Amino acid sequence: MKKQPIPYVGSGAYCYSNSTAMLLASIGEIISPNLIEPLTGVGLGATLEKSGLLFFSHSNLSPDLGIGNALDILGFSYQSKFNQTKSKFPIEELKRALVNGPAILGPLDMGYLTYNPNHKFLKGVDHFVLAYDINADGIFLHDPAGFPCVRLSIKDLKNAWTADSISYRQGYYRYITSIKRIADRDEKDIYRVDCTP
C-alpha cells in the first residue's frame, strides 16, 4: 500500500497542536491548530525551571497529555505509548506502528534535532514532531518548527526522544498513533461545559 503524503503544518511555538493537526490530516480530518491548541488545556504562562530555562506553558497540564485531551474532546481514539525506563528504546515497535500511519513523537529535546542549524543552542527545549516513515538511514519527520520532510538518524532520535532535560516528561519515548474518529462532534459538543458532580 502506497502511503499518501501528509500535509505539513508549521509553527514552532505550537508544535504539539501543529503535530496533532498533521496527524489528523493523515486520515483526512482537517482541523486547525487554532482549534486544537485551546482544547489541549495547556495553559498560557511561564515557569522558570531549576536549570534557569524559561518554559512557556503552565505546569498543571503538559503538552504530551494535552494532546490526548484535545483528541478526546474532538471525538478521536488513539494509542498513546511510552516506556517507564529509558533502557527500552522502542524503535522496532515504532517501525511497526509507522507501517499503519504516522505518529506524534514528544516531548523531544531540540538539542539533538541535528537537521536544525540551531540545535546546539536548543538543549533542554521541549518539542513535538510528526514521524511518518523510517528506514535504515533514519526516521523521516515533519517538524513544525519550519522543517518539513527531514531525516534524523536513529542515534539522534534516541537522544532527543529520551528527553532527559525535559522536566515535565512522564516516562520515556512517548508517542501517539493509531488515530481514528469514534464520534462526530459539533461546535456545541466541543465547547460544552459539564459541571455535573
Mean pLDDT value across residues 15-21: 96
pTM above 0.95, yes or no: no
User: All 3 cell numbers of residue 79?
Assistant: 494509542
Q: What is the CATH number of the domain that holds 70?
A: 3.90.70.10
Model confidence band, residue 1 (pLDDT cutoffs 50, 70, 90): very low
Residue 79 domain boundaries? 12-183
Q: Could you report the per-residue pLDDT of 160-184, keeping only the tens digit for each? A: 999 999 988 889 999 999 999 999 9
Q: Is-cis flag, bond preceding 107, omega within 30?
A: yes
Residue type for position 25: A
Q: Could you report the per-residue pLDDT of 27-77, keeping only the tens digit for each? A: 999 999 999 998 998 866 666 667 776 655 555 578 888 999 999 999 999
Q: What span, in angstroms and rounded, lies between the C-alpha atoms of 105 and 113?
A: 12
Mean pLDDT value across residues 8-13: 78
110: in domain: yes
5: in domain: no
22: in domain: yes
188: in domain: no
Number of domains making up the chain: 1
Q: Could you report the per-residue pLDDT of 73-89, keeping only the tens digit for each? A: 999 999 999 999 999 99
1: in domain: no
